């Protein structure tokens, strides 16, 4: 057993003792009931289980939870799909996903949403030229698997959100 | 009917013999430097020492992260890594898919994911995949292709580097590199001491 303290969606959990072989995915879903984070392939290949990790330097990145020990998140701050809504209102990216019919069964959506959100925040800090936007989005969403709608609608949702506010995201 | 049975038994026996031969060739040990003392010619002894060390260098645990391209390999057969990751500018993955997001500080057996704090790909110039042992030998002696290391640095790297050492404790379902890291370090040291001669092929 190892002590775990972790901040999830701005709420502190722990300190608590957790098994060393407990995955973060099981911790979120089975212990905390945060079932928005999915369990897909179980091998970090579909990324439906990805959450956002907020680093202390102000940068963020996504991380699969199905192959990662919960104890590996000790002291970290993460965001799950449940953390995107603010004051009862969906985030801009969530709205864009709905407007574009980006998802069908929704199993991969939490992973795409987290990845897209990280990209938006990254672009706010370091904007890219319009000519590089398509490639930037494709690289960011690469690795996330979707079996229903394909990938184009997710891509278009992220792109159109960025193009709707070019000064914020583009050089 | 009787002929069919005879053929089936013969095929079964041949299969068992082939499996036995395969297990004989896959050694899990390394011969120590003293095993080569009977080779009088120092050059030949040096080559023989490197050939033994080659069991480590050409093992999938090592070659998989010394790939010829920009994607690591995995498994005993060197399949392309899944998910489809790439080396990125620093060998630690692309900006959006770093090695460390899956590969933690240590092996995580429930997820069957290997780990080490410095998990990354060897640089392009250190690619071993698809190369003959002689080519790998010439490569690791060349400071331009070995990360600027001297021969003594190489001995230290092979014998004590903890990422190299992962190869002997690779975790769930992975075949470890033969022998021990200490054995490999001693072979490397003996190889250097005898002139660090490379095999011709």
What is the full per-residue pLDDT of chain A (171 aa) written as tens digits?
999 999 999 999 999 999 999 999 999 999 999 999 999 999 998 999 999 999 999 999 999 999 999 999 999 999 999 999 999 999 999 999 999 999 999 999 999 999 999 999 999 999 999 999 999 999 999 989 999 887 999 999 999 999 999 999 999
pLDDT at B64 > cutoff 50: yes
Whole-angstrom Cα distance, residue A104 to residue A109? 9
Selection from B157, B150, B158 nearest residue B183 by Cα: B158
Tokens linked to A155:
């891509």
Whole-angstrom Cα distance, residue A74 to residue A77? 9
Partner residues linked to A60 by β-bridges: A54
Confidence bin at B185 (pLDDT 50/70/90): very high
Choose between A31 and B6: higher pLDDT: A31
Choose between B6 and B45: higher pLDDT: B45
Q: How far is CA B174 from the centre of its chain?
A: 12
Confidence bin at B118 (pLDDT 50/70/90): very high
Mutate to test the interface with B, among A18, A22, A55, A61 (most CBs of B within 10 A): A61
Sort residue B26 into left (φ over 0), alpha (ψ -120 to 50) or beta. beta
B110:A69 CB<8 A: yes
What is the tens place of the pLDDT at every residue in A49-99?
999 999 999 999 999 999 999 999 999 999 999 999 999 999 999 999 999
pLDDT of residue B144: 94
Kindly identify which residue of chain B lies nearest to residue A140, measuring between CA atoms: B96
* Domains of chain A by start residue, with CATH: 2-82 (3.10.20.30), 92-169 (1.10.150.120)
What is the predicted ipTM? 0.76
Q: What are the domain boundaries of chain B?
A: 2-193
* d(CA B54, nearest CA chain A) in Å: 31
B117 close contact with A: CB closer than 8 A: no
Are A22 and A74 in contact, with CB atoms under 8 Å apart? no
Tokens linked to A5:
């303290």
pLDDT of residue B96: 81
Burial of B20 (0-12, 13-18, 19+ CB in 10 A): exposed
pLDDT of residue B19: 40
A44:B109 CB<8 A: no
Whole-angstrom Cα distance, residue A155 to residue A158? 5
Kindly identify which residue of chain A lies nearest to residue B83, measuring between CA atoms: A45
CB pairs under 8 A between A and B: 57
Residues 36-55 of A with CB under 8 A from B: 42-45, 47
pLDDT of residue B2: 52
Sign of torsion, CA A72 A77 A79 A82? positive
pLDDT at B5 > cutoff 90: no
Selection from A77, A66, A87, A165 nearest residue A124 by Cα: A165
CB-nearest to A68 from B83, B95, B111 is B111
- Whether omega for the bond prior to residue B83 falls within 30 degrees of 0, making it cis, is yes
* d(CA B182, nearest CA chain A) in Å: 29
pLDDT of residue B95: 84
Whole-angstrom Cα distance, residue B128 to residue B54? 11
Residue corresponding to tokens 């998140």: A73
What residues have CB less than 8 Å from B146, skipping those under 6 apart?
B126, B139, B140, B154
Residues 2-31 of A with CB under 8 A from B: 21-23
Q: Which residues of B touch A119 (CB under 8 A)?
A: 96
Tokens linked to A88:
């009862």
CB-nearest to A23 from B82, B85, B110 is B110
């Amino acid at each position: 057993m190892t002590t775990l303290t972790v901040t999830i969606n701005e709420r502190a959990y722990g300190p608590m003792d957790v098994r060393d072989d407990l995955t973060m995915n099981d911790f979120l879903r089975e212990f905390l009931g945060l079932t928005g984070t999915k369990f897909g392939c179980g091998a970090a290949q579909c990324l439906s289980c990805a959450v956002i990790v907020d680093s202390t330097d102000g940068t963020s990145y996504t991380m699969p939870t199905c192959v990662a020990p919960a104890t590996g998140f000790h002291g970290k701050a993460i965001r799950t799909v449940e953390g995107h809504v603010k004051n009862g209102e969906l985030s801009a990216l969530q709205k864009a996903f709905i407007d574009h019919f980006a998802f069908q069964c929704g199993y991969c959506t939490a992973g795409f949403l987290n990845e897209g959100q990280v990209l938006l925040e990254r672009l706010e800090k370091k904007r890219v030229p319009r000519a590089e936007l398509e490639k930037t989005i494709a690289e960011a969403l690469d690795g996330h698997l979707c079996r229903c709608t394909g990938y184009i609608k997710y891509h278009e949702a992220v792109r159109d959100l960025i193009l709707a506010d070019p000064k914020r995201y583009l050089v | 009917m009787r002929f069919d049975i005879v053929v089936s038994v013969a095929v079964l026996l041949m299969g068992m013999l082939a499996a036995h031969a395969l297990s004989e060739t896959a050694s899990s040990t390394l011969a120590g430097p003293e095993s080569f003392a009977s080779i009088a010619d120092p050059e030949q002894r040096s080559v023989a020492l490197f050939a033994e060390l080659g069991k480590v260098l050409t093992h999938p645990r090592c070659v998989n992260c010394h790939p010829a391209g920009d994607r690591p390999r995995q498994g005993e057969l060197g399949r392309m890594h899944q998910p489809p990751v790439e080396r990125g500018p620093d060998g630690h993955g692309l900006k959006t898919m770093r090695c460390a997001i899956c590969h933690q500080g240590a092996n995580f057996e429930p997820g069957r994911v290997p780990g080490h704090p410095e998990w990354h790909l060897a640089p392009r110039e250190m690619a071993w995949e698809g190369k003959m042992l002689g080519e790998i030998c010439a490569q690791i002696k060349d400071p331009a292709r070995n990360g600027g290391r001297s021969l003594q640095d190489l001995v230290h790297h092979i014998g004590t580097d903890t990422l190299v050492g992962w190869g002997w404790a690779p975790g769930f379902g992975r075949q470890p590199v033969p022998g021990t890291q200490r054995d490999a370090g001693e072979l490397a040291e003996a190889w250097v001491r005898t002139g660090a001669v490379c095999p011709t092929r």
